[in-house]
Amino acid sequence: MILKEIGPHSVRFAGVSSAPAVGVVAAARGLSMNVVDYSAEALAAAAPCDVADRLEGGQIVRFPVCPLPLPDEADQRFLRDELPARLRLKNISYHPEADRVRGIEAAADVVARVHRILVDHSRAVDAFLTATIPSLTRHWRLGTCSFRPIEERGRNLKPHASNELVHIDAGAYGATNGDRILRFFVNLNPERDRIWATKGAFPTLFDKYGEQAGIRPANGSAPSLRKGPLDYARTGLVRLLTACGLKMAHVLDSSPYDRVMRQFHNFMKDTPAFQADREHHEEIRFAPFSAWMVLTDTVSHASLSGQFALVTTGIVPLANCRHPELAPINLLRAA
């Protein structure tokens, strides 16, 4: 299978091969062009690199039944019942580099229980992904594992923090320098779907909106991706702070690439015409106890509604990609 020939929009199917032919059928039937479903059987039969190729090709890989062990029923009830009133930041997150939970205001025993649940889930996700997409997880950096206790619809967050506006992820992970952002989601709501919107992946969005967003050459004015002295100085300072014990200092780092991607992220959220664009717009439902994963630096997404989700983030080295020409940094370089 060669994803370059499929393009950023592919098809939904239950198997793992002959995607273009299935795509014709899928399109004719009005099925999703952005999602690929893997049943347990399809996952077991998947060829090496198949799932990773789907991710690199800009698809959302969805599992109708979460393929890894979830917190037990008592812990799930605890997360759903106890945490909404205790949220103090956008999410409640376990940070592995500091071995600490942030975003919660609660008694020590409550925080300790959240810590245990999120650490266990993070390890389960890591083990599953290491087995399923080993080419991508080699030397990857496992990041936060979050629980999202609040209904997404109508949260009234500031626009740049809003999950309800379609965007690509950028700028919240320190300096990725072109490495990829992989996120694994689980809908822990026992009754309601989580609903996303997407407008497709970076290659299409860059073609259509890159100039308008100021990240694609127009009269030679595209931003440079080359690091300057201030970038090296900042990275050196962050390393020093980390060595001095500030374990989450890496999020303070940046790079020209990360700033360009943040510019595109902000453009998307700040531009009503983009949000209203229906050309590649699609809404996607994730049923209770389903899971899905996606490279969120390329696939645009918004959480339109839903409450109670687990979200695990990892940074995948660009060098792991089998299709580096589809990575945003190389599309930016080639423009």
Residues found near Fe ion in the complex (CB under 5 A): 169
CB of 167 to Fe ion, least distance (A): 6
CB of 8 to Fe ion, least distance (A): 17
CA distances in angstroms from 260 to 171, 208, 255, listed in the order given: 9, 16, 9
Q: Long-range CB contacts (< 8 A, 24+ apart) of 273-278?
A: 274/166, 274/199, 274/209, 275/165, 275/166, 277/199
Residue nearest to Fe ion (CB): 169
CB of 173 to Fe ion, least distance (A): 11
Identity of the residue, 152 or 253, whose beta carbon is nearer to Fe ion in the bound complex: 152
Q: What beta strand segments (E) does 116-179 contain?
A: 141-148
CB of 91 to Fe ion, least distance (A): 11
Q: How far apart are the C-alpha atoms of 295 and 284, rounded to whole Å?
A: 16
Q: 11 and 33 in contact (C-beta within 8 Å)?
A: yes
Identity of the residue, 13 or 292, whose beta carbon is nearer to Fe ion in the bound complex: 292
Q: How far apart are the C-alpha atoms of 195 and 183, rounded to whole Å?
A: 16
Identity of the residue, 53 or 169, whose beta carbon is nearer to Fe ion in the bound complex: 169
Identity of the residue, 156 or 221, whose beta carbon is nearer to Fe ion in the bound complex: 156
Other Cβ atoms closer than 10 A to 174: 20
Query: What dihedral angle (degrees, nearest 10) is formed by the CA atoms of 119, 121, 125, 126?
Result: 20
What are the backbone angles phi and psi of residue 155, rounded to the nearest 5°?
-75, -20
Identity of the residue, 169 or 258, whose beta carbon is nearer to Fe ion in the bound complex: 169
Q: Dump the DSSP string for 19-66.
A: HHHHHHHHHHTT--SSEEE--HHHHHHPPTTHHHHHHHTT-EEEESS-
CB of 168 to Fe ion, least distance (A): 7
Identity of the residue, 37 or 169, whose beta carbon is nearer to Fe ion in the bound complex: 169
CB of 301 to Fe ion, least distance (A): 6
CB of 33 to Fe ion, least distance (A): 20
Identity of the residue, 76 or 296, whose beta carbon is nearer to Fe ion in the bound complex: 296
Other Cβ atoms closer than 10 A to 186: 27
